[in-house]
Amino acid sequence: MDVSARATSFGQVAEDYHRWRPSYPVKAVDWLAPSAPAHVVDVGAGTGKLTELLVARGLDVEVVEPDERMLAVLGRHNPTVRRHQSDSSHIPVEDASMDAVLVADAWHWFDPGATVPEVRRVLKPAGWLGLVWNVVAEPIEPWEFAIADDSDRYDRQSKGTIEGLSQRLSYFPEDEVEFSQFAWDWEVTPRHLAALLATTSMAITMPPDEKAIAFERSRGALQEVCEARLRQTMPIRHIASCIRWTPGK
């Protein structure tokens, strides 16, 4: 399956995506988003994990999402936002109308050649693009190594460090970019971990037999950790890795 097909595969599991995917730490949203009553657009909004935090801040929110299945789930949970079925190359809002364009765990699916000019077009003077990725932190404890996944290592290298983001986003001028990272913990049950993994693009495209084996391996590894510590959940350490790009004139 090519990248564009993987990018739109999430709609197949839209309800599970919303149920099992994590949200974002408040400090990260404070850093990324302007203060109310600013007008912002959440692009590649998925089922609205970031959207609901922006609404709670009192912001005037537009959302852009290409998959109608994801957009339907978002609308049920965030009925007050204006919803647009479109992709990042066409943000259907007026020129110079947005205080910020915000993207949560989706920028890597976009074509920057088509998206960056659109971001410039819709931003007000002094407005900015804010990006965030949730990344599992580097393992430290033995039990963290026991449940570690190869995809976590890749994400840390490409999205979880300032160096990785600088390379990935090298088309943004250095003097126009700010980086920040926010550590946070997420309490997860073994079942929740397996269900979360089932919402990744790699898992969605796996053959059913391979998928079942992979999920049971992940669930079982965390189950052993929980049982050894007489716990129902374990705190999975994450980093919200953030960037703000404020285009120069």
DSSP codes, 124-159:
EEEEEEEEEEEEEPPP-SHHHHHH--HHHHHHHHHT
Q: Could you give the CA distance from residue 177 to residue 245 in angstroms, rounded to a whole number?
A: 5
**Which residue range(s) make up the domain with 38?**
3-137+152-185+237-245
Characterize the bridge pairing of strands 177-188 and 234-245.
antiparallel
Whether 212 maps to a domain, the answer reads no
| Exposed/middle/buried for residue 172 (C-beta within 10 Å: 0-12, 13-18, 19+) | buried
Nearest Cα residue to 238 out of 143, 138, 125: 138
Whether 191 maps to a domain, the answer reads no
* pLDDT tens sequence across 213-240: 888 888 999 999 999 999 999 999 999 9
Task: Count Cβ neighbours within 10 Å for each residue of 92-118 and write b for 16 or more, e otherwise.
Answer: ebeeeebbbbbbbbbbbbbeeeebbeb
Backbone angles phi, psi at 106, to 5 degrees: -140, -20
Q: Could you give the CA distance from residue 16 to residue 200 in angstroms, rounded to a whole number?
A: 11
Count of domains for the chain: 1
CATH number of the domain bearing residue 63: 3.40.50.150
User: What tokens appear for 249 in the block?
Assistant: 């004139």
Whether 120 maps to a domain, the answer reads yes
pLDDT surpassing 80 at residue 8:
no
Amino acid of residue 243: I
Percent of the chain with pLDDT over 90: 76
Whether 147 maps to a domain, the answer reads no
Task: Count Cβ neighbours within 10 Å for each residue of 135-169 and write b for 16 or more, e otherwise.
Answer: bbbebeeebbeebebeebeebbebbbbeebbeebb
What pLDDT is attached to residue 12?
85
Whether 96 maps to a domain, the answer reads yes
CA angle 82, 85, 87 (to 5 degrees): 115
Whether 114 maps to a domain, the answer reads yes
* pLDDT tens sequence across 103-133: 999 999 999 999 999 999 999 999 999 999 9
Percent of the chain with pLDDT over 70: 96
Q: Could you give the CA distance from residue 44 to residue 70 in angstroms, rounded to a whole number?
A: 10
Q: Could you give the CA distance from residue 60 to residue 47 in angstroms, rounded to a whole number?
A: 18
Whether 108 maps to a domain, the answer reads yes
* pLDDT tens sequence across 146-183: 888 777 888 888 888 889 999 999 999 999 999 999 99
Whether 65 maps to a domain, the answer reads yes
**Which residues touch 106 (CB under 8 Å, ≥6 apart)?**
43, 44, 45, 46
Q: Could you give the CA distance from residue 78 to residue 110 in angstroms, rounded to a whole number?
A: 24
What pLDDT is attached to residue 197?
86
Rounded to an integer, the average pLDDT of 28-36 is 97
10 Å Cβ neighbour count for 180? 15
Query: Treating both helix axes as pointing N-terminal to C-terminal, what angle do 208-228 and 190-197 enclose, rounded to 10 degrees?
Result: 150
